Amino acid sequence: MLRVDRLRHVYLKGTPMEHTALIDVSFDLAPGECVAVVGVSGSGKSTLSRIVAGLLAPTGGKVWLDGRDLTAPPTLGAWGRRFKAFVRWLLGVFDPRRWLARRHWTLQRSTRPPRPAPTPPSRPVMLAFQNPEDQFFTTCVMEEIAVGLVPILPPGVGGNGVSIRELLAAPPPAVLEALRLVELDPARYGARDPFTLSGGEQRRLALAVLLARRPRVLVLDEPSAGLDDPGRARLYACIERVRREQQTAVLIVSHDLEEVAAIAERVIVLADGRVAAAGQTAQILADAPLLQRAGLAAPPLVRLHQELATRGFALGGEWLDVEAAAAALVPALPRSAPGKGAANA
């Protein structure tokens, strides 16, 4: 579905401050798949995510989504649409009917029957910056999601000239669906000020704002930074639901390898802007020398697994979470241990 092909990016090209941030980065992302990009600070993770999300034009290489080139500069078609819109606006300015009707503008607008709400067109790639809740700018949860839909909703729907009371009385289906996906009950949270939500709820609301546009690919920069364990678990469950129900592909940028172990199926290791390694999560996270070369430390459970092996306890399994580690460890423990512990207590 998404194909990143030999991406290359040079900041401030041709100046003394020229810096090459990405060199020949290539990978694929399938529908519903979760891939993590890991690397130390300055390895090029955010540059990559901004290019994939279409916020930065790469110096070289392409990003394809279902055969469509997302990095292509605006085509003649796009310019044609802009020109047509400009001509429409110009004709409107000089249209005498408009000036005659202007005195009754409010009346006319309120009596015009509302156009049916179109299905929101999918925005192909959506990027959540780190701490996306810092960018909330409305005073109501429903409105925060609806304003993102304004360009695609008809006039008078979803914050487009509509009062918050009207919005709460008849929320657009896309808003309700986004709230469901992130487990925020519209009746309980819909009218709240986003800044009164807990940290975990704010992070999930920020995700809902993106989900309302029905992206094919979600790019998340350090999605769980600053959350406590229950907050993380809930966010991961929401990401999992979006992948399963909507087949949305997820690209996670992180340097927290525990997070990567919890949600990603594949890992791409970036070092100095190059792909140092790529493979299944268990395989990459178990490769301590590789991670060390990239400046990263394996998650504590993987390190414990390796430490036990060096001390002569070669236990199988992929130690990516506590349950998997316990399943591998328990058969190797003496059977009498729990009873003894209880007797001593």
Ligand X SMILES: Nc1ncnc2c1ncn2[C@@H]1O[C@H](COP(=O)(O)OP(=O)(O)OP(=O)(O)O)[C@@H](O)[C@H]1O
Q: Which residues are catalytic?
A: 222
Q: Which is nearer to Mg ion, 38 or 290 (CB)?
A: 38
Residue selected from 2, 7, 21, 127 as contacting ligand X according to rule CB under 6 A: 21
Helices 300-310 and 322-329 cross at an angle (nearest 10°) of 20
Stretch of residues binding Mg ion (CB under 5 A), selected from 24-32, 40-48, 244-252, 313-321: 40-48
Q: Which is nearer to ligand X, 45 or 213 (CB)?
A: 45
Q: How far is the CB of 30 from Mg ion (least distance, A)?
A: 24
SS3 233: helix
Which residue is listed with tokens 């002569």? 312
Does 41 contact ligand X by CB under 6 A?
Answer: yes
Residue selected from 46, 202, 224, 281 as contacting Mg ion according to rule CB under 5 A: 46
Does 47 contact Mg ion by CB under 5 A?
Answer: no
Phi-psi region of 34 (alpha: psi -120 to 50; beta: other; left: phi over 0): beta
Residue selected from 7, 33, 34, 39 as contacting ligand X according to rule CB under 6 A: 39
Q: Which residue is nearest to Mg ion (CB)?
A: 46
Does 43 contact Mg ion by CB under 5 A?
Answer: no
Phi/psi for 302 (5° steps) reads -65, -40
b/e per residue 175-202 (b: at least 16 CB within 10 A) = bebbbebbebebeebbbbebeebeebbb
Contacts of 77 (CB under 8 A, 6+ apart): none
What does the block give as tokens for 138?
């409305």
Does 42 contact ligand X by CB under 6 A?
Answer: yes
342 interacts with, out of ligand X, Mg ion, none, CB within 5 to 8 A per kind: none
In the complex, the residues that contact ligand X under the rule CB under 6 A are 11-12, 19, 21, 39, 41-47, 255
